[in-house]
Amino acid sequence: MKSLFLLAILCMSAQVFAQTCEVDMIDRYNRVVRTFRAYGDPSSCIEGMKECRKTIRLGPQLGGVDCIRRGDYNPNPNPNPPQRTLSYYLSLNDYQLAQEALYGIGRCQVVQGGYNSSCDYYMKVNGHGFGGGTGCAQQQYTRNYGCNYYSEFENAGCLTRISLQNRQCL
């Protein structure tokens, strides 16, 4: 009878100790600095939160970190790119606009010319060269559009501005 009672207590305590939870100390870049494990309810994880916060209090060099229960966040997020408006893009200078367009602005993109290409930069709308041509950003081709920089990169930004103003990108 005693062994049966001991076995029952052991089974019940195993269930209690089987509920472990984890608290991650996260820095401002959403990287895990340290993980704290504790026994208890995974939805509250009180002891794990206490240990994490105590570590932060005792380590002032850990500025900018926070304690988050595992499961309450995505440790490797794939953030959506910020939604930028037409007025945001038009407020940039041509060089900044070309930098943004390297990653694409809607249907517009600045593409670097490959080896042996005639241009260093091309401006593409829907995958085709700007203005129905190749989209080459050399000064001799962009002068007609009012883009008269010596830098092809800035000319590509100027062509991007024209496409944005004509609502061809967004």
Question: Mean of the per-residue pLDDT values for the chain?
Answer: 80
Whether the predicted pLDDT of 88 surpasses 80: yes
Side-chain-side CA neighbours of residue 49 (13 Å):
11
pTM, 2 dp = 0.53
Average pLDDT over residues 6-26: 66
Give residue 10's pLDDT band: very low, low, confident or very high (50, 70, 90): low
Give residue 19's pLDDT band: very low, low, confident or very high (50, 70, 90): confident
- Give 33: exposed, middle or buried? Use CB within 10 Å, 0-12, 13-18, 19+: middle
pLDDT attached to residue 75: 47
Question: In Å, how far from its chain's centre is CA 157?
Answer: 24
Give residue 80's pLDDT band: very low, low, confident or very high (50, 70, 90): low
pLDDT above 70 covers a percentage of the chain that reads 78
pLDDT attached to residue 121: 92
CA–CA distance, 15 with 75 (Å, rounded to integer): 28
Give residue 109's pLDDT band: very low, low, confident or very high (50, 70, 90): very high
Task: Mark 143-170 as b/e (b = at least 16 C-beta within 10 Å).
Answer: eeeebebebbbbbbbbbbbbbbeeeebe
CA–CA distance, 123 with 110 (Å, rounded to integer): 5
Task: Mark 46-83 as b/e (b = at least 16 C-beta within 10 Å).
Answer: ebbbebbeebbeeeeeeeebebbbbeeeeeeeeeeeee
Contact 138, 83 (CB under 8 A): no
